[in-house]
Amino acid sequence: MTITGTDRITAAFQQAQSKQTAALMPYFTLGYPDATTSLDIVEAIASYSDLLELGVPFSDPLADGPTVQHSTQVSLENGTTTAKCLEMVRQLRQRGVQTPIMLMGYVNPILAYGEANYARDAADAGADGFIVPDLPPEEAEDFDALSAEAGLSLIHLLAPTSNQSRIDRVAARARGFIYLVSVTGVTGARSQVRTDLAGFVNRVRAETAVPLAVGFGISTPAQAAEVGQVADGVIVGSAFINAVNAGEDKVEAAVQFVKSLQEALLK
């Protein structure tokens, strides 16, 4: 029996649940601050993470705030391409990284690469799924089918403003998990978690048994723990990149920050 990317994602959430904790999913941009360092960072944090969200840089990252925008711009200036990102995934697998890998990118580069080619080559490289913020479920049918054919999950997003029709549509086709955007707006570290987050999570949970992971605006271990009390997964991006930027030893700074998140979730 072939183990698919979707199977590995599901198993990661089940394993976290068995430890009575939310799954931890750090986000980091491939190719930032350079290709070698990004690979070293991702390899180093993999054992402290349940899943990894790796950014494929794009020149117009509409859902991302200043921190992630800067990282993607630097990565592009370094010459990072979609094909090079897939090769970096392959290298991570060759280094022994077994943590499920979600590729976060925008739809234009996928269309330029070719949807069928991207799904096939991502699976071949060792990716497990895709997060595409600007591909709404109403327009995702073709890529959803291609992803499923390759054994990977296309992860759909819901925001606090999503109406019941959108929630029902996403719940009906979700595989792996659903990405809940905790705030209206772009990614970025914020001083506090939404007070109505639990209500949003419960509204979606009433429609599906698929795990629910929350991202956008989670800045500290304490906030990660707070979100982990109501969600099945916690996604941290901008605050993680900020921690790496502040560290003299980038890899060590990455490990210490992710370990602090993991420890907070396990308490």
Q: pLDDT, tens digit, for every residue of 4-34?
A: 999 999 999 999 999 999 999 999 999 999 9
Q: What local confidence, expressed as pLDDT, does residue 216 receive?
A: 86
89 touches 126 (CB < 8 A): yes
Task: Give the phi and the psi of residue 151 in degrees, each rounded to 5.
Answer: 85, 15
Torsion sign, CA atoms 125, 126, 132, 138? positive
Task: Kindly list the catalytic residues.
Answer: 53, 64
80-100: average pLDDT: 98
User: Cα dist. 73→86, 155, 167, 187, 254 in Å?
Assistant: 18, 24, 33, 15, 20
What pLDDT is stored for residue 195 in this prediction? 61
In the chain, the percentage of residues whose pLDDT exceeds 90 is 87
Per-residue pLDDT tens digits for 47-70: 999 999 999 999 887 767 788 999
CA distances 57 to 21, 54, 83, 252, Å, are 31, 10, 11, 24
Of 263, 260, 247, 244, residue with least CA distance to 42: 244
Domains of the chain: 5-266 (3.20.20.70)
- Give the residue-averaged pLDDT of 115-130: 98
Evaluate whether 56 touches 103 at the Cβ level (below 8 Å).
yes
Instruction: Confirm if 259 and 266 have CB atoms less than 8 A apart.
Output: no
For 149, left (φ over 0), alpha (ψ -120 to 50), or beta? Answer: alpha
Q: What is the DSSP string of 240-259?
A: HHHHHHH-SSHHHHHHHHHH
Query: Which residues face 213 on adjacent strands?
Result: 179, 233
Lowest mean pLDDT among 16-20, 72-76, 180-184, 218-222: 180-184
250 token code pair: 């980038």
Q: What is the pLDDT of residue 185?
A: 45
Can you give the pLDDT at residue 194? 55
Q: Tell me how far CA of residue 130 lies from CA of 148, 201, 210, in angstroms.
A: 11, 21, 16
Per-residue pLDDT of 205-250, as tens digits, reads 999 999 999 998 898 999 999 999 999 999 999 999 999 999 999 9
CA–CA gap between residue 34 and residue 261 (Å, rounded):
24
Per the listing, tokens 């960072």 go with 41
pLDDT score recorded for residue 190: 43
- What global pTM score does this model have? 0.94
